[in-house]
Amino acid sequence: MKRNNAITLLLITGVIWSTGGFIIKLIPWSPFAIAGLRSGIAFIILYFFAKPKSFSFNYYTKLGAFFYVLMVVCFVFGNKMTSAGNVILIQYAAPIYVALFGFYFLKEKSSKVDWLALVVIFSGLCFFFLEEISADQLQGKLMAFLSGVGFAGLTICMRKEKNQSPIHSVLIGNFLTFFICSPSYFNGLSSSLESWSLLIFLGIVQLGFSYILYSTAIKYVTALDAIIYPVIEPIINPLLAFLILGELMTGKAIFGGFLVLIGVVGRGVIKSNKGEYF
């Protein structure tokens, strides 16, 4: 596969991921129930796609699975506690963590353009925590931050396994999420057709199909590329939340999100014009 094709897959992945925020809010279940059942469905889809004869349980596969659980559980909690726009834009500070640790683990050096973009992204992130917020909103933003840490950690681990089976971390992570969240399945789940339909979409498409694309593309791009190019997600996610839920973001959050997007998009444009991909 060519690198440009891999980037196209990452952009499609970002579009699919962007549907998660508002759909999670539409399902009136506990965060653990949504996270666990979504991952259980995604595990089935990914298992039949990968058809593993055996699982790789090396260090980076297990570490990647841990980061995956952290990412998906905290993402759902974050969306229940604060706005979908806040969650996704805070999560997209993840390139900072990839740049900091990517060279140590992957020997993928970050350029001056990368670091300039990361300064802009981090500055934008700070604005999310400058506004006056309730305790629940603060907890939601902290959950979004932890989800970003999980996203970065998973990306590094999957990239480390690029010559093996990077999808194994996602498979194991989905199974662990389903198992860990299982006590929540016995309380408060409605039999609403709408809720179950939305959950099935989250499991099959938003999580399952998207990670088929992501695990395929990550073999042909750097870890920083893999976490930056799905940038369309933090653009579409708050827009969908506003159009469907009427969810608004504060002025400081909007400005912070603008800086995050400037850092991400600006880096992509500059490096593309320079032909500086690695």
- Where do the domains of the chain lie? 3-274
Mean pLDDT, all residues of the chain? 83
Between 237 and 96, the more confident residue is 237
pLDDT digits (tens, 9 = 90+) for 115-127: 888 788 778 777 7
- pLDDT bracket for residue 131 (50, 70, 90): low
Distance between CA atoms of residues 203 and 35, nearest Å: 9
Q: What integer is the mean pLDDT of 164-169?
A: 83
- Percent of the chain scoring above 90 in pLDDT: 32
- pLDDT bracket for residue 278 (50, 70, 90): very low
Does position 206 have pLDDT exceeding 50, yes or no?
yes
pLDDT of residue 76: 95
pLDDT of residue 69: 97
Contact 78, 111 (CB under 8 A): no
Closest CA to 74 of 232, 233, 181: 181
**What pTM does this model have?**
0.82
CA angle 47, 72, 193 (to 5 degrees): 75
pLDDT of residue 74: 95
Does position 73 have pLDDT exceeding 50, yes or no?
yes
Task: Give Dmax (Cα) for the chain.
Answer: 55
Q: What integer is the mean pLDDT of 8-13?
A: 91
pLDDT of residue 173: 95
pLDDT digits (tens, 9 = 90+) for 32-70: 999 999 999 999 999 998 887 766 678 889 999 999 999
